[in-house]
Amino acid sequence: MTPKTTTLFDLKAVSVRFGQVEALKNADLQILQGQRVALIGSNGSGKSTLLRVLNGLMSSKNSQKSRQKTGFVEGIIQTDANLRQAMLFQRPHMLRMSVQANVAMGLWLAGTGWAESKARALEALARVGLQTEATRSAKTLSQGQQQRVALARAWVCLSDAAQQNVLLLDEPTASMDPHAKREVEALMHDFAAQSMTLVFSSHNLGQVKRLATHVAYLEHGKLLAHLPVEDFFDSEKLCAVSPEADAFLKGEIV
């Protein structure tokens, strides 16, 4: 008997508005444990907004005055009770302290002792190949190195196998050189191999093919397709679900 797969996110008719601008429109989406979901679409299609919704960074309780800046969510968002998640932004924020302290800070703020936090941070840095940079100021690292520090910071907070762990990434390799992209992709693949669920936005279709198990296509805030990766890149199957997504893959939508 096949074991039931846990649903980590279940979105029904979710919309997000910034003042009069509707950034996400009536989106339905289910993400299951262990999936690697790539969000694709043109700039402004709603990918980053959807990631922020999944991460709980947008609320239906915002005041009318703050909605224009912070967004207002409508619809139903259900998450698994054991869910634990971290989000990496396109340009991760580095604190003005050492690389090791940047990784340890999250654990310390969560209640772990500073000595243990530093020890676990060093282990996480070893996983991403930056152990030798532990004492260096994080602000002096290259963009690719900073993204690897951010991955270490996320991993050290999500390393408890008893939790349903999700890593959300917004364009994790944007503007990186090919070598740095390969390093970050390898780490994402390594994390996924440890039963971590990934949801990431990307403009790199080759990256999507290499890393994703499922692909969601957004256009003008609408979620028009959500398919297994092999079906998404099958033009006949994709066109039957969303001619717009098929046109995007063919370069016919700018």
Supply the Cα-derived Rg of the chain in whole angstroms.
19
Read off the pLDDT band of 1 (50, 70, 90).
very low
User: Residue 172 is which amino acid?
Assistant: P
Is the pLDDT at 80 greater than 80? The verdict is yes
pTM for the model stands at: 0.90
List all residues 6 or more positions away from 7 whose beta carbon is below 8 Å from its beta carbon.
30, 31, 32, 33, 78, 80
Reported as a single tens digit per residue, the pLDDT across 38-61 is: 999 999 999 999 999 999 887 665
What pLDDT is stored for residue 170 in this prediction?
Answer: 95
What pLDDT is stored for residue 5 in this prediction?
Answer: 80
Here the tokens at position 181 are 């992209």
What pLDDT is stored for residue 130 in this prediction?
Answer: 95
Reported as a single tens digit per residue, the pLDDT across 164-187 is: 899 999 999 988 889 889 999 999
Which backbone phi and psi does 36 adopt, to 5 degrees? -120, 100
Is the pLDDT at 66 greater than 70? The verdict is no
Is the pLDDT at 110 greater than 60? The verdict is yes
- Domains of the chain by residue range: 7-94+141-249
Task: Give the C-alpha separation, 157 to 120, whole Å.
Answer: 10
**H-type alpha helices, 35-166:** 47-54, 67-70, 99-109, 114-127, 143-157
What pLDDT is stored for residue 63 in this prediction?
Answer: 42
List all residues 6 or more positions away from 200 whose beta carbon is below 8 Å from its beta carbon.
36, 37, 38, 39, 168, 169, 170, 171, 172, 188, 211, 212
Average pLDDT value for residue range 133-150: 94
| Mean model confidence pLDDT for the chain | 90
Reported as a single tens digit per residue, the pLDDT across 201-253 is: 999 999 999 999 999 999 999 999 999 999 999 999 999 999 999 999 998 76
What pLDDT is stored for residue 4 in this prediction?
Answer: 67
Average pLDDT value for residue range 14-29: 93
- CATH class of the 7-94+141-249 domain in this structure: alpha beta
